Amino acid sequence: MKKILCLFGALTLLLASCSSDDSSSDSSNVLLKKTVVTNSDGEKYTTNYQYDGNKIVSAIDDTGDANLYYTYTGDLITKIEFKYPDGTIDQINTFSYNAEGKLTTFVRVEPNMDWGHKEVYTYNADGTILVTSYSGDSETQTGEGVTSTIKFVNGEVSEILAITANQTNHKYTYDNKNNPTKNILGMDKIAFVDGEGNGVKLNILTDTVDGDLWGNSTFTYNDQGYPTKEVNTGSDSLGTTEYFY
Distance of alpha carbon 101 from alpha carbon 88, whole angstroms: 31
Q: What pLDDT is recorded for position 7?
A: 42
Neighbouring C-alpha atoms within 13 Å toward the C-beta of 142: 2
Cα(first)–Cα(last) distance of the chain, in Å? 21
Identify which has the larger pLDDT, 60 or 112: 60
Nearest partner of 88 among 70, 112, 71, judged by Cα = 112
Question: Residue 135 — very low, low, confident or very high, per pLDDT cuts 50/70/90?
Answer: confident
Of the candidate ranges 91-105, 107-121, 126-140, the one whose mean pLDDT is the lowest: 126-140
Q: Is the pLDDT of residue 176 over 80?
A: yes
pLDDT of residue 142: 62
Euclidean distance between CA atoms 218 and 231, whole angstroms: 5
Nearest to 200 by CA among 214, 218, 183: 183
Cα gap 22→31, rounded to integer Å:
12
Average pLDDT, the chain: 88
Q: Which residues pair with 204 in a beta bridge?
A: 174
Higher-confidence residue: 166 or 147? 147
- Considering the domain delimited by 4-244, tell me its CATH architecture: Beta Barrel (2.40)
**What pLDDT does residue 185 have?**
98
By C-alpha distance, which of 39, 40, 57, 227 is closest to 48?
A: 57
pLDDT of residue 17: 32
Exposed e or buried b for every residue in 34-57, given b needs 16+ CB within 10 A?
Answer: bbbbbeeeeeebbbebebeeebbe
Residue 156 pLDDT > 80, yes or no? yes
Domain borders along the chain are 4-244
| 190: three-class secondary structure by DSSP | helix
Q: Which residues pair with 113 in a beta bridge?
A: none
Higher pLDDT: 5 or 245? It is: 245
Its pTM stands at 0.86
pLDDT per position as a tens digit, 182-192: 999 999 999 99
Alpha helices in the chain (DSSP H): 13-21
User: For residues 21 and 113, what is the distance between their CA atoms, to the nearest angstrom?
Assistant: 45
CA distance 123 to 105: 12
CA dihedral (5, 10, 14, 16) positive or negative: negative
- pLDDT at position 137 is 73
Outline where DSSP puts E strands in 98-145.
Answer: 103-110, 115-123, 129-136
Q: Residues 206-226: pLDDT tens digits? A: 999 998 999 999 999 999 999
Beta bridge partners of 152: 157
How many Cα atoms within 13 Å fall on the side-chain side of residue 23? Answer: 18
Higher pLDDT, 70 or 29: 70
> Could you please report the per-residue DSSP string of 66-92?
-EEEEEEETTEEEEEEEE-TTS-EEEE
Distance CA 166, CA 38 (A): 33
Residue 143's pLDDT band (boundaries 50, 70, 90)?
low
